[in-house]
Amino acid sequence: MSVLVFTENWDGKFKKLSFEIVSYASKLAEKLGTFSIALSIGNVEKTELERLGKYGAGKVINVSDNLLNILDNQVYSSVIAQIVKKEDAKVIILACNNTGKAIAPRLSVKLKAGAASCVSKLPDSIDPFIVFKKVHSGNAFANIRINTDIKILTLAQNSFELIESENHATIENLPFQIDATLLKTQVKEVQKLTGKILLTDADIVVSGGRGMKSPDNWAPLIELADLLGAATACTRPVSDEGWRPHEEHTGQTGKIIAPNLYFAIGISGSTQHIAGVSSSKCIVAINIDKDAPVFEVARYGIVGDAMKVLPRLVEAVKEIKNK
C-alpha cells in the first residue's frame, strides 16, 4: 500500500501549496507505516520534480502527454485512478483548490472511495479513519469517518506546515496511454492576471470594506500591500459596487483564504465575510466602530477612521522596512 499525492504544476513549477500537500501525505504515510508517492501530470523538469522529494515523497511519478495540457476532469481522474490501482494507494491527497475540487469527487466515484474535502489536520485516528474539517463556513468543525478501503482527502491551504528533510525521491517517468475519446473540454482562451500576487497564494492580504468610503481612497491600502508583498482583497459590497474587481471578493460566496496575516480595513465583519477569512493565522482590524464584530476575531485592533490610520500605518511599515 501507499499514499498517493497529486501535485499540480503551474507552467511547469510547483508552489508552496504543492509542498504542503506532499509534507502532509508523507507524514500521514509515516503514521500508516508506509511511504508517499507524488504524482505529477504535465511537463515538469526533472530538477523541479526532485524538489518534491525534499518534502518527503518516496517516489515521484511523472506522466506527461500533450493531451494533458488541458485540464479535463474526466481525463485527469481516469489517469489518477489508474495510477492509484497500479501503486495500490489507499489514501489519495489533493489540494483543496479548484483543480483538487474538480477531480477528487470524480475519483471518489471511480474508486468507490469516501472523500472528505478541505481537511485541516492529520487524522487523529487511523482505524477508524477520522478526519477533521470545517463546516458551516468555519462556524463549526466536523469529525468525519471514512468507511471505505480507499480514502480521498483534499487539504485546506496553509493548514499544514512544510516539513523539509534530506530525503531524495526516485523519479519515474511513466509512459501512459491516454484515452483521447474522453477529452471533451476545449480551451478557447486563457486570461491570466499577470504581475500580481495571487490572493489564494498570498501570505499577507490587505483587504478593504465599505469603511474605505470611496473607490478613490484605495491608494494607501495598495501602498501598504506593496510594502508588505501582500495581495489586495475586498468585501462583497465593495466588489458589488464595482469599487474593486470581483476576483478580490473574499467571503463565503467569494474566495476563501487562509493567509498568515489578514488586514481588515474598514470592514465591520459580517458572518459571511468572516466565513471567508476565519482561517487566517492573524487578523488585524481597523474600524471606526469599536463594537464592530470584526474585533471579535481580530488579534490586533485599531479603533479609528481608516482614512486617518492607514497613512500612518504605511509610514510605520516604511520605517521598519528601511531599518
Partner 1 sequence: MKILVCISNVPDTTTKVKFVDDFKRLDTTGIQWIINPWDELSLTRALELKDNPSNGIQCVTIAHVGLITTEPTIRKGLAIGADDAIRINTEPSDANFVAAQLAEVIKANPYDIILCGIESSDYNGSNVGGMLAEYLEYPSVSAVSELRIENGQVIINREIDGGKEVVTIPVPFVAIVQKGIAREPRIASMRGIMTARTKPIKVSEPITLDLFTEVVNFEMPKPHPTCKFIDPENPKLLVELLQNEAKVI
Residue 50, C-beta contacts closer than 8 angstroms, at least 6 positions apart = 60, 168, 169, 171
Alpha-carbon gap, residue 240 to 204, rounded angstroms: 23
Counting every residue written for the chain, the total comes to 323
Instruction: Give me the least distance between CB of 244 and partner 1, in Å please.
Output: 14
The residue (of 31 and 196) whose beta carbon lies closer to partner 1 is: 196
Nearest to partner 1 of 2, 117 (CB atom): 117
In the complex, least distance from residue 122 CB atom to partner 1, rounded to whole angstroms: 16
**Angle at CA 200, nearest 5°, toward 171 and 204?**
110
Radius of gyration of the chain (CA): 21
Pick 68 or 298: Cβ nearer partner 1: 298
Nearer to partner 1, 67 or 303 (CB): 303
Residue 15: CB minimum distance to partner 1, A: 9
Q: Which is nearer to partner 1, 5 or 231 (CB)?
A: 231
Kindly state the cell numbers that stand for 259: 493567509
Which residues are CB-neighbours of 273 under 8 A, at least 6 positions away?
209, 235, 236, 250, 251, 252, 267
Provide, rounded to whole angstroms, the least separation between the CB of residue 233 and partner 1: 14
How far is it, in rounded angstroms, from Cα 3 to Cα 126? 13
Closest CA to 209 of 228, 237, 230, 241: 237
The least CB distance from residue 18 to partner 1, in Å, is 11
For 84-113, give the DSSP string: HHHTTEEEEEEESSHHHHHHHHHHHHHTT-
| Residue where the block lists cell 508506509 | 34
Smallest separation (angstroms) from partner 1 to the CB of 91: 14
Q: How far apart are CA 128 and CA 120, in angstroms?
A: 18
Q: Minimum CB separation from partner 1 for residue 210, in Å? A: 18
Shortest spacing between CB 50 and partner 1, in angstroms:
23
Residue found under cell 482590524: 285
Three cell numbers, residue 62:
511523472
What secondary structure letter does DSSP report for 240? H
- DSSP β-bridge partners for residue 89: 2
